[in-house]
C-alpha cells in the first residue's frame, strides 16, 4: 500500500485561474504572508510560494482555495529515486543489457539487441535528453564528451571573457554559468552530482561510445542535459522537479528521463508540467517503480500520467523475466527494459562505475532508444517514435498482461525498416472469426444471450465467408469490440484500413465509428453525425470521413492509415460502434498500396571476354554484370538468338 504523502513544510504550489492576473495574485500573497519564488508562464502562471515561518500549511492552502482566485493550491510533495542498491562485484564493463551471451547465468539474447541496432544508428548528436535527477558528474571520462552545452553560456562575452566561467547570467535565464544544466537545490548553474544516481542514469543513456574507456550507453553520441533537483539522500520536491521540466522545455530538450516518483500524492501541478511538455512535442520517459505493485491499482507518478507522450518502463533481468522488484501495469506501463543489475557511471570519481538495480536503470535505456529513433527518423512525431519502440518489442511471457506491449525493448526492431510483407496486398484480419488471442467485449447493450458477439449467416447474407457479426438494435451509443489479439495486424506505409458494413435500411444509425488500437492509443474514424465525442475532432483519434454509407447494401469503409497515424503500427484491437440503429459487419483488415509499374529496363554488361576480343578453344566463359531498379531475377545468355544454357540466377552471372 502507498505510504503517507511527504511534503515540504515551507512551500506550496498555487495556480491562478485563467483570468486572474499576477498583480491580483501578489495581493493575495501579501495578505497571507507568502512569497512567490518562481512563476512558470508556460504552465499557466503556476507559482511556487514560500510560506512565512511557523505557518500552518494546511490552513494557508485552504485560504487560497477559498479565495476564488486559484485553480488549485497544494503541498510541495517530495519524490524519491527508484533505485535498488546492488552489491555484485563483477568484472569491468560487463554490459549484458546491451549484448547478452549468457554470462552470469543469463539467457543469450535477453538484451535490447544494441549491437544490431547500432549497425543502423548509434549516434543522436542533435537530440537533447534531459536527465532530471540528482545531477550528473559532467567531468566523468565517459560523460564529459556527451554533455549538453548551453549555447547562451559559451564563447566570449563583450569583455573577452569566457561566458562559461565569467560569473554572469549571459543568456538571462536566471542562472549564472549554466553550461551543462541547473541545480534547483542551490538555485545555481552547477548540476554536479553529489549522489550518483543521475550519473548512473546518464551513462545508460549516453556514456560515450568507441572511446576505449569505461562503458558505452545506448547512444554513442547524444546531448545530456543535467537538471538537479534530488538531494544526496535521494529525495526531491515537486516544485524543483517542475523547475527542471520547465528548464528542459525552454532549452530545447526532446526527451526527459524521470527515474523517480512516488505513490503518496496526486499533484495537479506536476500533471500540468508534464502536459506542458506534451504540448511542445517532448517525450517523457519514466520509471514505473520498485515495489512489485500493479500501477493500474496503485498509481505511481509521474509514470502513471495517461498522456500520449509518457512512456512508463518496467525492469527485466538477465533471464528475460520481470525483475522481482519491478512494478507493472497492463494499462499504465508501456514496456520493459533491462534493469537488474546494470553497470554504468558513478560519481565517486571521473573513472567510477558501479552496478545498480531498479526501474531507474530501465527507463534510460528506453530514453536512449527513443533518441536514436528520432535521430534516424527526424521527421517522426513523439507518438510515432513511441509506436516504433512499442511495436518492435520482443514479446516475453513474463510481461504478458503486465504491460501494454507485453515485451522488452528491442533497439534493432525500433530502428529497423518495416518492409512490406510478401504475397497478397490484402490482409483479412476479421473474417468469420476473431484473430487469435482476441478478447471480445460489448458496451451499450450490444450483446445477445450472454454472447459478446452475434455472428449471423443470413439477413443479410455475409459479404465474405460463412458469417458476419451484427450489432443489436439499441438506442444511443453501442459497440462490440475485441482487444489483446496475439495475431496482430501489421500496418505499413501506404496501407488502407477497411471494414465492410451493411446498414439496416429500416433502422439506420445516426453515426458509424471504427476504432483501431495499437496497444497504446485509440485511433478512430467516423461517418455520419458527430455524436460520439471520443478523442479530439479532426485528429487521428477522431477523423471525420463524411456521410453515412447507403443502407441496404454491403459497402466497404476505407481509411488511409496515414490519416490515423497508423503507418508502421502493430494493431491488437478493433471496435465497431453505432449511434442508434443496427448494422452488420463483415471482413476487416488492411490493403497494401500497389507498387508502381516497373518500366525501367535492366542494364546488362558483358565483362568478359572484352568487347571485340578474339577467343578460341572449345570452352569459353562469358561473364556479365546486371542491375535493375527493382530486382534482377536472372540473366539469360544467348548466341545468335539461341539460349546457350539455362538462365543464371546467382552472382556472378556466367
| pLDDT tens per residue across span 96-136 | 677 777 776 778 877 788 888 888 899 999 999 999 999 99
Of 410, 338, 419, 411, which Cα lies nearest the Cα of 373? Answer: 411
In which band, very low, low, confident or very high, does the pLDDT at 583 lie, cut at 50, 70 and 90? very high
* Predicted local distance difference test score (pLDDT) of residue 100: 76
Of 45-59, 323-337, 421-435, minimum mean pLDDT range: 421-435
Q: What is the mean pLDDT of residues 169-176?
A: 95
Residues whose CB is less than 8 angstroms from the CB of residue 609 and which lie 6 or more positions away in sequence, other chains included? 615, 620, 622
Rounded to 10°, the helix 359-376/382-391 angle is: 110
* Predicted local distance difference test score (pLDDT) of residue 320: 92
Model-wide pTM > 0.85: no
* Model confidence at 92: pLDDT above 80: no
* Predicted local distance difference test score (pLDDT) of residue 632: 66
In the chain, what are the domains? 7-81 (3.30.70.80), 96-415 (3.40.50.200), 426-591 (2.60.120.430), 603-643 (no CATH)
Residue with the larger pLDDT of the pair 90 and 604:
604
* Predicted local distance difference test score (pLDDT) of residue 621: 79
Cell of 57: 500549511
Kind and range of the H or E run holding 370: helix 359-376
DSSP state of 288: -
Cell of 303: 509514470
* Model confidence at 393: pLDDT above 50: yes
Sequential DSSP letters for 3-37: PPP-EEEEEEEEEE-TT--HHHHHHHHHHHT-EEE
* Model confidence at 410: pLDDT above 90: yes
Give per-residue pLDDT as tens, 263-294. Answer: 877 899 999 999 999 989 999 999 999 999 99
* Predicted local distance difference test score (pLDDT) of residue 93: 38
* Model confidence at 424: pLDDT above 60: no
Of 199, 180, 197, 177, which Cα lies nearest the Cα of 188? Answer: 177
DSSP state of 419: P
* Predicted local distance difference test score (pLDDT) of residue 86: 40
Give per-residue pLDDT as tens, 626-652. Answer: 776 556 667 787 777 777 776 776 666
User: Would you give the end-to-end CA distance of the chain in angstroms?
Assistant: 74
Catalytic residues: 133, 197, 360
Rounded to 10°, the helix 22-32/57-66 angle is: 140
Q: Are 241 and 42 contacting, i.e. CB atoms less than 8 angstroms apart?
A: no
Give per-residue pLDDT as tens, 70-86. Answer: 999 999 998 887 654 44
Q: Are 527 and 510 contacting, i.e. CB atoms less than 8 angstroms apart?
A: no
Give per-residue pLDDT as tens, 213-228. Answer: 889 999 999 999 999 9
Of 263, 264, 285, 262, which Cα lies nearest the Cα of 274? Answer: 285
What is the C-alpha separation between 602 and 460, in angstroms, rounded? Answer: 51
Q: How far apart, in Å, are the Cα atoms of 30 and each of 25, 36, 50, 51, 617?
A: 9, 10, 12, 11, 108
Mean residue pLDDT across the chain: 88
Residue entry with cell 578474339: 614
* Model confidence at 422: pLDDT above 50: no
Length of the chain as a residue count: 654
Q: Please state the φ and ψ torsions of residue 74, each to the nearest 5 degrees.
A: -150, 160
Q: Where are the beta strands (DSSP E) in 505-599?
A: 511-517, 522-528, 543-544, 554-560, 570-571, 573-579, 583-591
Cell of 415: 530502428
* Predicted local distance difference test score (pLDDT) of residue 598: 56
Strand order in the sheet with 342-345: 84-85, 353-357, 342-345
What is the C-alpha separation between 242 and 260, in angstroms, rounded? Answer: 13
Q: How many C-beta neighbours within 10 Å does residue 506 have?
A: 10
* Predicted local distance difference test score (pLDDT) of residue 457: 87
Q: How far apart, in Å, are the Cα atoms of 113 and each of 109, 186, 199, 495?
A: 7, 40, 23, 28
DSSP state of 203: H
Amino acid at each position: 500500500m502507498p505510504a503517507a504523502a511527504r511534503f515540504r513544510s515551507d512551500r506550496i504550489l498555487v495556480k491562478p485561474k485563467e483570468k486572474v492576473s499576477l498583480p491580483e495574485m501578489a495581493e493575495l500573497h501579501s495578505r497571507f504572508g507568502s512569497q512567490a519564488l518562481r512563476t512558470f508562464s508556460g504552465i499557466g502562471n503556476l507559482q511556487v510560494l514560500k510560506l512565512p515561518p511557523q505557518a500552518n500549511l494546511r490552513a494557508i492552502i485552504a485560504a487560497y482555495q477559498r479565495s476564488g482566485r486559484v485553480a488549485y493550491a497544494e503541498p510541495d510533495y517530495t519524490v524519491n529515486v527508484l533505485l535498488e542498491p546492488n552489491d555484485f562485484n563483477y568484472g569491468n564493463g560487463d554490459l549484458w543489457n546491451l549484448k547478452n551471451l549468457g554470462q552470469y547465468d543469463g539467457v543469450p539474447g535477453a538484451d535490447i539487441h544494441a549491437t544490431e541496432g547500432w549497425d543502423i544508428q548509434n549516434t543522436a548528436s542533435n537530440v537533447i535528453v534531459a536527465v532530471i535527477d540528482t545531477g550528473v558528474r559532467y567531468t566523468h571520462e565517459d560523460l564529459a564528451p556527451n554533455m549538453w552545452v548551453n549555447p547562451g553560456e559559451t564563447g566570449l562575452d563583450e569583455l573577452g571573457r569566457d561566458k562559461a566561467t565569467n560569473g554572469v547570467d549571459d543568456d538571462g535565464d536566471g542562472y549564472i554559468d549554466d553550461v551543462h544544466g541547473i541545480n534547483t537545490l542551490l538555485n545555481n548553474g552547477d548540476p554536479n552530482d553529489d549522489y550518483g544516481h543521475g550519473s548512473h542514469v546518464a551513462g545508460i543513456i549516453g556514456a560515450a561510445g568507441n572511446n576505449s574507456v569505461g562503458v558505452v550507453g545506448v547512444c554513442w553520441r547524444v546531448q545530456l542535459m543535467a537538471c538537479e533537483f534530488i538531494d544526496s539522500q535521494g529525495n526531491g520536491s515537486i516544485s524543483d522537479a517542475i523547475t527542471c521540466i520547465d528548464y528542459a522545455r525552454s532549452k530545447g530538450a526532446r526527451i526527459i528521463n524521470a527515474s523517480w516518483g512516488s505513490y503518496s500524492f496526486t499533484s495537479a501541478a506536476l500533471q500540468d508540467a508534464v502536459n506542458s511538455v506534451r504540448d511542445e512535442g517532448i517525450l517523457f520517459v519514466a520509471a514505473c517503480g520498485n515495489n512489485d505493485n500493479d500501477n493500474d491499482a496503485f498509481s505511481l507518478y509521474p509514470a502513471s500520467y495517461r498522456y500520449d507522450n509518457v512512456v512508463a518502463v518496467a525492469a527485466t533481468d538477465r533471464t528475460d523475466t520481470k525483475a522481482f522488484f519491478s512494478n507493472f501495469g497492463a494499462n499504465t506501463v508501456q514496456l520493459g527494459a533491462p534493469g537488474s543489475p546494470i553497470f554504468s557511471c558513478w560519481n565517486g570519481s571521473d573513472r567510477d562505475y558501479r552496478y545498480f538495480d531498479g526501474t531507474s536503470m530501465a527507463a534510460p535505456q528506453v530514453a536512449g532508444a527513443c533518441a536514436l529513433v528520432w535521430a534516424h527518423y527526424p521527421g517522426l512525431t513523439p507518438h510515432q517514435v513511441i509506436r516504433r519502440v512499442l511495436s518492435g518489442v520482443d514479446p516475453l511471457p513474463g510481461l504478458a498482461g503486465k504491460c501494454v506491449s507485453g515485451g522488452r525493448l528491442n533497439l534493432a526492431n525500433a530502428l529497423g525498416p518495416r518492409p512490406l510483407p510478401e504475397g497478397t496486398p490484402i490482409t483479412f484480419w476479421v473474417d468469420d472469426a476473431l484473430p487469435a488471442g482476441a478478447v471480445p467485449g460489448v458496451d451499450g447493450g450490444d450483446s445477445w444471450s450472454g454472447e459478446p458477439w452475434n455472428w449471423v449467416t443470413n439477413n443479410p447474407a455475409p459479404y465474405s465467408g460463412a458469417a458476419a457479426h451484427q450489432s443489436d438494435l439499441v438506442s444511443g451509443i453501442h459497440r462490440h469490440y475485441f482487444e489483446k489479439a496475439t495475431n496482430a495486424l501489421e500496418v505499413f506505409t501506404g496501407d488502407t484500413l477497411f471494414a465492410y458494413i451493411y446498414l439496416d435500411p429500416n433502422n439506420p444509425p445516426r453515426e458509424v465509428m471504427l476504432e483501431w488500437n495499437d496497444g497504446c492509443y485509440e485511433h478512430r474514424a467516423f461517418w455520419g453525425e458527430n455524436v460520439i465525442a471520443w478523442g479530439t475532432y479532426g485528429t487521428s483519434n477522431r477523423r471525420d470521413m463524411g456521410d453515412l454509407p447507403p443502407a441496404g447494401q454491403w459497402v466497404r469503409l476505407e481509411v488511409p492509415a496515414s490519416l490515423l497515424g497508423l503507418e508502421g503500427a502493430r494493431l491488437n484491437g478493433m471496435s465497431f460502434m453505432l449511434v442508434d440503429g443496427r448494422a452488420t459487419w463483415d471482413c476487416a483488415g488492411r490493403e497494401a498500396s500497389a507498387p508502381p509499374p516497373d518500366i525501367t529496363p535492366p542494364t546488362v554488361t558483358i565483362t568478359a571476354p572484352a568487347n571485340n576480343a578474339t577467343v578460341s578453344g572449345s570452352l569459353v566463359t562469358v561473364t556479365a554484370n546486371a542491375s535493375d531498379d527493382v530486382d534482377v531475377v536472372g540473366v539469360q545468355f544467348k548466341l545468335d538468338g539461341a539460349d546457350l544454357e539455362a538462365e543464371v540466377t546467382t552472382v556472378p552471372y556466367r
